[in-house]
């Protein structure tokens, strides 16, 4: 009886994931290759690649895909460089003003994005970072870094310090312990952080438009003008692209993680 309940729970969970995450993407893809498919018809009568032809006929699309991936990956890497030591320090050490530091790290997601963008725009102008991909990468740190620190801190909080002490007892140095003991044990948090940061960076339109000045074209910069059009097939095609980018990033990130684990476990 317990076995059956477990199987039933797994089936419900799997079905829910399919309905919430897979089915919408499949429907959007069918919509993008259909012609005149609308409610209440349960299937399209005609299929056409016209929407995808319209999308890839736009010369800015390939450039925007490259810029979007470059910005997203850069934001993920910089988040790790800042968030990992910050989260480790907040989790492992007690110091005066720790609560204030945590509150300051969460402030960017509590303040309206537009207010932050307008204030940072003036700073970026003085630094000469407006209308440049560097400025867009830096501004994307504001809505992503608080989440990265929060997720990684939770990962370090769940990790017992005994593992690091045991490694030190066996003669491993601080850096060896970190890369061969700590990092493998917090891989679930690293995986979640990378995907979350990439998705947040991918969805930024206002920050990119203000700091990029329309010269740094990411996928949202091209997508939103089409979104206001009446061509539902093209909108569905762009939506599929948005859904596929995080999936592709996750696949590559999983390959990087497996490669890293293989290297550190290799005798």
Q: Answer whether residue 2 shows pLDDT above 60.
A: no
Query: Could you tell me which residues come within 8 angstroms of residue 43 by beta carbon, excluding any fewer than 6 positions away?
Result: 37
Spatial contact of 191 and 183, defined as CB atoms under 8 Å apart: no
What value, to the nearest 5°, has the Cα angle with vertex 187 and ends 183 and 193?
Answer: 110
What local confidence, expressed as pLDDT, does residue 84 receive? 92
**pLDDT band at 42; cut points 50, 70, 90:** low
Alpha carbon of 41 to those of 37, 38, 101, 127: distances in Å?
A: 7, 6, 55, 55
What integer pLDDT is reported at residue 102 of this predicted model?
81
Q: In this predicted model, which residue has the larger pLDDT, 187 or 42? A: 187
Can you tell me the distance from the alpha carbon of 2 to that of 136, in angstroms, rounded to the nearest whole number? 53
Per-residue pLDDT, averaged over 247-254, amounts to: 92
Interatomic CA distance for residues 249 and 230, integer angstroms = 30
pTM of the model: 0.85
Per-range mean pLDDT, top range of 5-9, 164-168, 209-213:
209-213
- pLDDT at res. 195: 93
**Using 50, 70 and 90 to split pLDDT, how confident is the model at 49?**
confident
Residues 6+ apart with CB under 8 A from 239: 28, 32
pLDDT at 34: 78
**Average confidence (pLDDT) over 189-209:** 91
Task: Work out the mean pLDDT of the chain and round it to a whole number.
Answer: 83
pLDDT band at 252, cuts 50/70/90?
very high
What pLDDT is recorded for position 253? 94
Is residue 157 pLDDT above 70, yes or no? yes
- Cβ(37)–Cβ(30) under 8 Å? yes
Is 70 exceeded by the pLDDT of residue 53? yes
Q: Is the peptide bond before 26 cis (omega within 30 degrees of 0)?
A: no
DSSP state for residue 171 in the 8-state scheme: T
Topology of 59-228 in CATH?
MetI-like fold (1.10.3720)
Q: Is the pLDDT of residue 71 over 90?
A: yes
Per-domain boundaries in the chain: 59-228
Is the pLDDT higher at 253 or at 166? 253
Task: Convert the pLDDT of each residue in 90-136 to its tens digit.
Answer: 888 887 877 888 888 777 777 777 777 777 888 888 888 888 899 99
pLDDT for 1: 45
Identify which has the larger pLDDT, 75 or 242: 75
């Amino acid at each position: 009886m317990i076995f059956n309940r477990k199987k039933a729970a797994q089936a419900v969970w799997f079905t829910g994931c399919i309905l919430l995450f897979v089915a919408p993407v499949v429907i959007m893809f069918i919509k993008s290759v259909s012609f005149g498919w609308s409610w209440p018809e349960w299937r399209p009568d005609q299929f056409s690649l016209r929407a995808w032809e319209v999308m890839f006929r736009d010369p800015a699309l390939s450039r925007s895909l490259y810029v979007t991936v470059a910005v997203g990956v850069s934001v993920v890497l910089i988040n790790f460089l800042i968030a990992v030591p910050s989260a480790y320090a907040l989790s492992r050490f007690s110091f005066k003003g720790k609560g204030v530091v945590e509150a300051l790290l969460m402030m960017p997601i509590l303040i309206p994005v537009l207010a932050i963008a307008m204030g940072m725009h003036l700073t970026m102008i003085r630094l000469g970072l407006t209308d440049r991909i560097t400025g867009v990468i830096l501004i994307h740190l504001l809505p992503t870094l608080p989440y990265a620190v929060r997720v990684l801190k939770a990962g370090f909080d769940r990790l017992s310090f005994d593992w690091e002490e045991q490694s030190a007892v066996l003669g491993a140095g601080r850096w060896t312990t970190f890369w061969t003991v700590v990092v493998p044990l917090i891989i679930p948090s690293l995986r979640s952080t990378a995907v979350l940061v990439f998705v947040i960076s991918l969805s930024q339109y206002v920050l990119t438009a203000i700091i990029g000045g329309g010269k740094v074209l990411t996928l949202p910069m091209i997508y939103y003008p089409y979104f206001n059009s009446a061509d539902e097939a093209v909108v569905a095609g762009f939506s599929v692209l948005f859904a596929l980018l995080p999936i592709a990033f996750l696949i590559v990130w999983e390959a990087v993680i497996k490669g890293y684990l293989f290297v550190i476990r290799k005798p």
